[in-house]
Amino acid sequence: MLPDLYGYRARIGLIYTSTSTVMEPECYAMAPEGVSIHTTRVELARVTVEELRKLAERTAEAARVLAMAPLHSMVFGCTSGSFVEGRSYDERIVETMRAATGGLPVTTTASAAANGLRAVGAQRIVLATPYLEEVTARGAAYFAEQGFEVLATSSLGFENDHDIGRMSPERVYAQARELDRPDADAVFISCTNLRTVAILQELEEDLAKPVVSANQASFWEALRLAGIGEPILGFGRLLQL
């Protein structure tokens, strides 16, 4: 792409956690021509319930400053930080971001994941996470509030976000494949600091069902909020809708 064509179709804003490194390059990998990603950070010390609760109060100012770019849409890129206190909490984050940005189309990873799972026709899901079990349980409760039946969960027990970011895609693949159940309509892989997009297509082919990940769903919804509906191949069926 020529330098003067960056973001000519859409400029997407990303509010991301300070300890994470994976979501930005994965969004770059999925981005169609003419779409650019612009990031700001909010502090996160550890992936615990106590620390995740603090993110919401930091999001409004981050959204206000990032919206000066200018942008076409914005996503708060933290799954656990948006589901940690349930559906109404997630909805309040969205409203806070929208107010802070003057009405910009906005979403969170948790909201995008729920919308993405509905888009692929899922009702019964399994939930794979790198989190502590307490955090994963809150994720399962959030998706139940969104109307999904959560058949099973898997937690790898990580509290340190740097450790999550170092996990190989092969390990993520293995966790999702081991967790899957024949009666599940889809697999959801949580956490925007997990390297997932490179293995989504193969997982879907091997499991014969949709596999939705946090980064894939976030970018899918941000694109559509920005008015980009182009099917994108190679990263699972959600981006082809």
Q: Domain holding 80: CATH number?
A: 3.40.50.12500
* Same domain, residue pair 175 and 234: no
User: What SS3 state is found at 86?
Assistant: coil
Range of the domain at 106: 3-111+216-240
**Same domain for 209 and 224:** no
Whether residue 206 is found in the same domain as residue 230: no
* pLDDT number for residue 87: 98
Give how many domains the chain has, as a whole number.
2
* Residues 55 and 142 both lie in one domain: no
**CA dist., res. 172 & res. 96, Å (int):** 33
Residues 67/101, Cβ–Cβ less than 8 Å: yes
Percent of the residues in the chain that have a pLDDT greater than 90, as a whole number: 97
Q: What pLDDT is attached to residue 6?
A: 85
State mean pLDDT over 98-106: 98
Give the pLDDT band (50/70/90) at residue 2: low
pLDDT value of position 4: 63
Backbone φ, ψ for residue 220 (5° rounding) = -55, -50
Q: Is the same domain home to 156 and 100?
A: no
Separation of alpha carbons 44 and 65, rounded Å: 18
**Residue pLDDT, tens place only, 192-216:** 999 999 999 999 999 999 999 999 9
The domain that contains 130 carries what CATH number? 3.40.50.1860
CA angle 60-118-217, nearest 5°?
50
Same domain, 189 and 103: no
If asked whether residues 187 and 166 sit together in one domain, one would say yes
What distance in Å separates the CA atoms of residue 18 and residue 43, rounded to the nearest whole number? Answer: 5
Adjacent-strand bridge partners of 38: 13
CA distance 13 to 219: 10
Q: Has residue 55 got a pLDDT over 60?
A: yes
**Do residues 98 and 17 both lie within one domain?**
yes
Query: Above 70 in pLDDT, residue 76?
Result: yes
Q: Does 3 score more than 70 pLDDT?
A: no
* Residue 107 shares a structural domain with residue 142: no
The verdict on 152 and 227 lying in the same domain is: no
DSSP 82-96: HHTT-HHHHHHHHHH
